[in-house]
Amino acid sequence: MRQPDIEIYLKDADVDHKAIAAWLSAALGPCTDWVQKGQTYKCTAGSVPVTWLPKAVGKWNSLYLESDQTPWEDDIACARAAFAALNVEVRCAPGTWVEEEGEESADTWIRISADGEEQITWKTA
């Protein structure tokens, strides 16, 4: 089932919002200029509203695509594409998390890196 939006986390290594914009332009369509509001950057890639939050969780940057109109069915598909395009470690939730699932499953993440793909426990709070 297609997720209503997509959020992935990229390790703060050599990736910034400019590299993200180049990748999103190729994947979704031309990116508008980034508009900075506080610590957050926003743009539109094709018709998809995009939010980039540097250091959202420690050294991890959040990339949030506010649409179900992307080439990716879920966070994992987007994370795989981001890793392939940017060669930077990416983490994402394994599916849409709902509060009823409880706190335990909230710490279950998928890690995609040069080592491959694996399920990890990541305490973000």
pTM higher than 0.85, yes or no?
yes
Residue 24 buriedness (CB in 10 A; 0-12 / 13-18 / 19+)? buried
Range of the domain at 32: 6-121
Residues making up the chain, counted from first to last: 125
**Is 1 inside a domain boundary?**
no
Pair of tokens at residue 54: 């540097």
**Is 32 inside a domain boundary?**
yes
Each residue of 57-96: pLDDT tens digit?
Answer: 999 999 999 999 999 999 999 999 999 999 999 999 987 5
H or E stretch covering 24: helix 17-28
Q: Quick one: what percent of the chain has pLDDT higher than 70?
A: 89
Question: For the chain, what is the domain count?
Answer: 1
**Is 69 inside a domain boundary?**
yes
Q: Are strands 60-65 and 6-11 parallel, antiparallel or unpaired?
A: antiparallel
